[in-house]
């Protein structure tokens, strides 16, 4: 069976609200936002920073529902500053038999991490 990797979810316009270097590493995101995007805690994501051009891979930590938090933890904290705008991507593997069945979820956030 051949599997192909496709973009599954995209959170665009996320704004870093905090960063904490002394942590094991990851990105924390408000539960409302990850639920809307269809991303689960622990899921691998790619984080693109519009302000400095960095692209990192890490995993999701669920932040409190309704908190609007987007927090860079551990080494990821070196890849952005509070206020930087991010694009967060998750991917999935799709078998050739299922091509065309996967649907991309795109979530657009305002500057204060409000769902649009």
Q: What is the pLDDT of residues 78-103, one digit of tens each?
A: 999 999 999 999 999 998 888 777 78
Please identify every residue annotated as catalytic: 26, 59
Which pLDDT score, from 0 to 100, does residue 24 have? 79
Which pLDDT score, from 0 to 100, does residue 82 have? 98
Is-contact 62 31, C-beta < 8 A? yes
Nearest to 104 by CA among 35, 38, 14, 42: 38
Which pLDDT score, from 0 to 100, does residue 101 have? 74
Question: Can you tell me the distance from the alpha carbon of 92 to that of 9, in angstroms, rounded to the nearest whole number?
Answer: 9
Which pLDDT score, from 0 to 100, does residue 3 have? 92
Q: How confident is the model at residue 46 (pLDDT cuts 50, 70, 90)?
A: very high
Tokens 């192909």 label which residue? Answer: 4
Burial class (CB in 10 A: 0-12, 13-18, 19+), 96: exposed
Going from the N-terminus, what domains does the chain have, and what CATH number goes with each?
A: 3-95 (2.40.40.20)
């Amino acid at each position: 069976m051949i599997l192909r990797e496709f973009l599954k979810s995209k959170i665009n316009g996320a704004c870093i609200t905090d960063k904490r270097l002394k942590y094991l590493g990851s990105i924390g995101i408000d539960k409302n936002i990850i639920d809307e995007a269809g991303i689960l805690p622990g899921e691998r994501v790619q984080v693109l920073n519009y302000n400095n051009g960095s692209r990192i891979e890490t995993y999701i930590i669920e932040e409190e529902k309704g908190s609007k938090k987007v927090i860079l933890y551990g080494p990821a904290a070196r890849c952005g500053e509070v206020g930087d705008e991010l694009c967060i991507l998750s991917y999935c593997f799709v078998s050739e038999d299922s091509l065309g069945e996967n649907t991309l979820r795109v979530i657009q956030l305002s500057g204060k991490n409000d769902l649009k």
